[in-house]
A = this chain, B = another copy of it.
């Protein structure tokens, strides 16, 4: 079962937008046992779109196209699809009402150009977009499928999850596939790979494939097993290997599957009925922002301070100015004091703090750029951890936030 992904958009070709859709789609299709043969980015030109889809439909069972469905003039995918599948645009009543309601609920004018978004090729199956205005469309030709989706990532993802893959599963016989994803934090890919060499060699016997999926500060380990066997048998074979894996790298594991550090942290805190506060310097609000990404975080999140300056560390948070002048703003002592102050001031059970040189510039003779201290204050003790990263500001902030969350997750796990 082969798929080709086609992403339409001049902004992709001139590199104004990085094509994250292709990566997400590849990973998602792959997880259902659908092999992505290739991905293509092409321009907004009708002829190019026509040719590319036409050829791809001969090569692959499923062609998933994104982009070119907005209301503006350069969006011609829909017209091209009509030519390709020899049909014409008709008004799709439910979509018309949905798009109209969408604009009205936001108090926005419903323009002629928006009306056009409810036009669909007569011969397609409409995949209604409940999170946006541009519908998905499903066409068939000689048993092969072409799906057209909007390019906005979360709309595309919604339609892939709710419409496209369920329909593919219905139409095609997909191989059984069982995945198990184990999430680790704080160690690099090559370090883990080194620890796992022997275990990894033993996977071949079980016909299990292992993929390392690294992102800054984090490595996901995904085991996959394909086969005709019963799903419970496949699951059991994976489970046995997981037990072995945890014995080797369990210390770095924080969760499974689609969990995130913040979702795990909120869940653990909620389970214990505990609360947390943050005192952030170099992470600049990222810990608070990440935690509050999780719906329901309000139950566990007490308060957050973003105290960038020495002065605000003392004035807003109450850190003893003498500690700052004695040890320097970027020091384990200041991180400790920040966490302690945040915990006491807010009355939360735990507090996390950060202070460091996030980069790309900065650093002094004691601590170079990329040095970041994170601390965890609890009723019983305060733990501080010194991290040493590179010069990439965004990456360093991300990894420091994650390291702080990991500290607290491990503390609760104890």
In the complex, the count of this chain's copies comes to 2
- A70 CB–B CB distance under 8 Å: yes
- Do A111 and B297 form a contact, CB below 8 Å, given A211-B14, A222-B16, A288-B284? no
* A191→B158 CA distance, assembly (Å): 24
> A388 to chain B: closest CB distance in Å?
5
* A239→B339 CA distance, assembly (Å): 53
Secondary structure dominating the interface of A:
mixed
Write the chain B residue with the least CB distance to A361: B295
Number of interface residues of A (CB under 8 A): 102
* A388→B154 CA distance, assembly (Å): 19
A306 with B288: CB separation less than 8 A: yes
A303 with B298: CB separation less than 8 A: no
- A214 CB–B CB distance under 8 Å: yes
- A18 CB–B CB distance under 8 Å: yes
> A223 to chain B: closest CB distance in Å?
12
Q: Which of B107, B211, B395 contacts A10 (CB 8 A)?
A: B211
Identify which of residues 274-290 in chain A touch chain B, using a CB-to-CB cut-off of 8 Å: 278, 280, 283-289
Identify which of residues 349-363 in chain A touch chain B, using a CB-to-CB cut-off of 8 Å: 359-361
- A189 CB–B CB distance under 8 Å: yes
Q: Hey, which bits of chain A sit against chain B, CB under 8 A?
A: 10-20, 22-28, 30, 36-44, 48, 52, 70-74, 105-109, 111, 113-114, 131, 152, 154, 179, 181, 188-191, 193-194, 200, 210-214, 220, 222, 278, 280, 283-289, 291-293, 295, 297-298, 301-309, 312, 315-316, 345-346, 359-361, 388-390, 392-395, 397
